[in-house]
Each structure stands twice: as C-alpha cells, then as structure tokens.
Amino acid sequence: MMHRGVEIGNLSTPKSDVILLGSGLGGLVAGTLLCQKGCSVLLLREKDYQPFYEREGYCFVPFSNFSEKRVNPSLLNWLSRELNLSALVASREKPRQEDAGIGSTKQKVAFQVVLPGSRIDRFYERPRFQREWQREFPKEAIEVAQFFDKMDQLNRSLQEERGEKGIGFFSAWNVRSFFRRWSSSERPLDLASFSREFRAFIHLQLMVRGNLLDHRFPTSLAAYLLTNDEPGEVSFKLDLEDLKKRILDEFLHRGGRVEEIDGVQEVKRHWRKGFRIVLRGDGKEFESRFLILNSPLHRLADLRGEGGRRILKQEARIRPRYVWVPLFLGVREQVIPVGMKDLLVSVQDLDKPYASGNILLISLSPEGEETQSPEGRRAMTVQSLVPVRALDETSFMEHREAVISHLRRLIPFLDDHIEFIDFNWAREQIYRWAHWSYPHFLYETPSDFRWREGILPLRIAKDLYVTGKENFPYLGLEGEALGGWMAAEHLLKKLR
C-alpha cells in the first residue's frame, strides 16, 4: 500500500553543512548519503504542493515518464545497497501462481503504443516483441529486425563497460575511455529510411522513457533506452512517491531535518561562508556551507541574489518546452477495452504530434488493486502536453476537451462509465506559478549534448549544486538517482 505523507514538525536550524531546496529523488538520494556520512542536512520543501491526489477511494499520482510508474529492479537494488534501504528488497513478494503462469502476458508488457495505423505491445521478451513489429510493419520487417539487432549490439557494449566498472545500474560516467569519447561525439540516430509510423513508434518510446523533447538522440543512447528492458516483479508495487517516501524515512532516521516553507525569496552567498537562504513571507533565514537545488530551475529563476544569477546562466543549456498536465478519471472496470495495458502512449495525428491532446500518456491502476481504486473501479491518470507559455485558464479548458475527445476514440462508451473527471488539481498545482515544486516537464536542448556527461552540470558554482531531471533528463528515474549520487560523492570529498 502506498504511504502518503509524513508528519514533520516545524524545525529551525540556523546553520547546516548542506541545504536541499526541493524534495525530488536526486536531492533525497544526495541528502540521505550525506546524512549517513555524518553531515548535517536540512531539506526545505514547499508546504502546499501535493505530489498525489486522493478522492473517493481513488489515488492518482502524476508522472513525467514510465520509469516513474514501474521502477527498474536493478535501480532498486542499487539504491537499497547505496542507501542501506533493506526495506526495498524485503518488501518484495513472490509472484502469485496465477500471475506467474506461462500464459500470463500482463506483466510481460512494458507498455503499449497506439499509433494512427497500429497498436503495439512493447514486450520485454524479444521473440514476442518481434511478432508485434512483424504484424504491424510487415513491409519493412527485415529492416526493423536489422535495426534492433544493431541496437542490441550497441547496448551489449554498454553493458560490458558497466560490468567492468562495477556500477550497479549504469557505467562510470567520469572514466575517460575511448568508448566514452566515441559515444559523446557520435551522430544522432538516423531513421530516415523507415516509414512514418515506425519513426513515430521509436520517438514515442524515447519520449516515454525520459523527459527530453529532442529527436537528435545519439545512437548509443537510443540503443540503451530502446533495448535495456528489465521486467519488474509481478506483485512488487512501488512507484516514485513510494520510493521517495522510503528514502525520506531513511533521511530522517539518519538525522536529516525538514522545514516546510512557502517559498524562497533570496539566496545570498558569503565569501568562504556558504549561503544564507531568506524565506518568502516571514523572512526567516537559514545558513549552510553548500546548497543543492532540487526543483526545476526555471521555477527558481526569479530568485534574487547569487542563486538567481547562477540559474540564469544555465537556462540556455536546457529549457522546458511543454508541461505534462494530468487529468484524473475514476472509471468502472467494464469500460476498459480488452487488450488495453496499464501503461499506454497514444498519438492521433502524426502531422502535428505536439498539438493539444494529440499525445497521451495513460496510467491505469492495476485491476483489483483496492489501495488505488474502489472494487470494480480503475484510477486513470491521463498525461498530456501543454506548451509552457500557454498556461492560462482558457487554454486549460480547451485542452481538457481535446484530451477527452482523444480518450473517446481509445475507449468506446467511456462517457457511460465515468465516475468523475478532475482537472482542478492541475489548475491548482500548475496554473499557480507560485508553486515551484511541480516537476513534470518535457525539456529541449538547443544544441547537441554529450549524453554520458549530462546536459546540466551538477555543480554550477563553487558551493552550488543541481540535482534533478535537468542533469540527465533522457534517463528518467535512473538519471535523477545518478545525479544525486554523483553530487553526494563530490560534496563528501569537499566536506572531509
């Protein structure tokens, strides 16, 4: 069952080794590692931001990518080991016999892709996935097979390097090797010889695995994202909010402190004395030697002082182009079409992929999972794209109608089985720009990037760090954990 929230007192800490601004996964990983090594860490998080929504027995959790809905077991094992989170491993249950049978396909599908002319189940197992593409792309089946063979070969090279370096969930990023230099300067993935539907199929997969709107993916990065599938365990239900809650518990257990705040007014930097954080509203102040920013940078760009100036210098590297806007639906089980998977990406028109309501990421609560929806019901979270610059009340309502129209095409008779539709959460959490914690954006980068090094540097000033989706946006949850781990390792060397 998902743990929602934690009771934390209103603590006051005049000075700390490190202050974390924002409670994303990367910052929590960094903070917990630092606390375990004896550092004093204060987490400042937004008081009114709600990362999930509950109503009438339903629970909805917005997301940026599918890695946040089905956490990779290798990543969990790595986090368990690095953070001493034995609960992550101990909470695993053995699959039920009826779920683990030979004929069961539900948990063997990573997600489903719906295109204007095809519907493809992205199976973990290559033979079953191959039957899918042979059925949907028969005229280019040989070329598609050759494409995936090339992707497999590149991914095996990455896996071999990872094994040599002994890293649990990806290779050592700061080791200067021939392969690293080659993969950093390689040409982008070229799909020009394939049909529009197959190109869209590949691009949608790259999108749902990360947070980057960029079709110039380096070939080896595309290989890693497209072929590094790892099925989760059948009855192991853990999403991003559960994972963050467990890491936060360890953070508090190790002596980390939390202050819930309305916002930050100014970040002052004193030579050789670290930072002074001035809060919005009451003007309360906190001091630290180091500062880790763990919230979308563009939402902190209006900070006065040292923090704001440093953020502005990084804005050219990566920019939020779209925001993932969630629509919550409580629906009756019988309306879900046969064959529809719990995770699904759908596009209606290939000519205008980023138009309002044209691309949907859908997450359905598992059938029979009564911690997320009442009996005989399903919680449906529908994510869709809205341009960041079009966030106003009129565009929100027009967008809502476009999303519902798209859903009606996917799910016949939907209107007869809807319990409720909620769009207010999105208006409250996104439309109110005073909120700086909302993390679900699709980013773009204006130039080629060296993907093994990340887009945004972890350290943007002598004592100022960034951990979040902007470091390695294309790696999803894995990239956030990686950024937090790397920041902690670097900070520990300076704190010793």
pLDDT tens digits along 213-265:
877 888 989 999 998 777 654 334 678 888 999 999 999 999 999 999 988 88
Q: Is the dihedral of CA 352, 356, 357, 362 positive or negative?
A: positive
Decide which of 468 and 171 is more confident: 468
Strand segments, DSSP code E, in 388-455 are 418-422, 441-444
Q: Smallest Cα–Cα separation from 238: which of 360, 376, 385, 85?
A: 85
Query: What pLDDT is recorded for position 72?
Result: 81
pTM: 0.89
Q: What are phi and psi of 323, to 5 degrees?
A: -115, 140
* H or E segment to which residue 215 belongs: none
Query: What pLDDT is recorded for position 228?
Result: 77
Query: What pLDDT is recorded for position 163?
Result: 55
Query: What pLDDT is recorded for position 368?
Result: 87
Is the pLDDT confidence value at 406 over 80? yes
1-15, 195-209, 257-271: least confident range: 1-15
Domain ranges within the chain, ordered by starting residue = 15-52+62-66+238-317+450-495, 127-229, 319-444
What is the C-alpha separation between 183 and 290, in angstroms, rounded?
Answer: 33
Report the chain's terminal Cα–Cα distance, integer Å. Answer: 40
Q: Percentage of residues in the chain with pLDDT exceeding 90?
A: 54
The highest-confidence range among 259-263, 301-305, 306-310, by mean pLDDT, is 259-263
**Residue 416 CB neighbours (<10 A):** 9
- Look up residue 237 and give its amino acid: K
Average pLDDT over the chain, rounded to whole? 84
pLDDT tens digits along 132-151:
999 999 999 999 999 999 99
Cα–Cα separations (whole angstroms), residue 495 to 79, 294, 463:
22, 20, 11
Query: What pLDDT is recorded for position 96?
Result: 42
Decide which of 238 and 267 is more confident: 267
Is the pLDDT confidence value at 381 over 60? yes
Nearby residues of 151 by Cβ (< 8 Å), 6 or more positions away:
222, 223, 226, 227
pLDDT tens digits along 313-346:
788 889 999 999 999 999 999 999 999 999 999 9
Q: Smallest Cα–Cα separation from 323: which of 389, 260, 259?
A: 389
Is the pLDDT confidence value at 351 over 70? yes
Domain covering 15-52+62-66+238-317+450-495, topology: FAD/NAD(P)-binding domain (3.50.50)
Query: What pLDDT is recorded for position 45?
Result: 93
pLDDT tens digits along 79-103:
888 898 875 654 444 444 344 333 4
Burial (CB count within 10 angstroms: exposed 0-12, middle 13-18, buried 19+), residue 376: exposed
Is the pLDDT confidence value at 294 over 90? yes
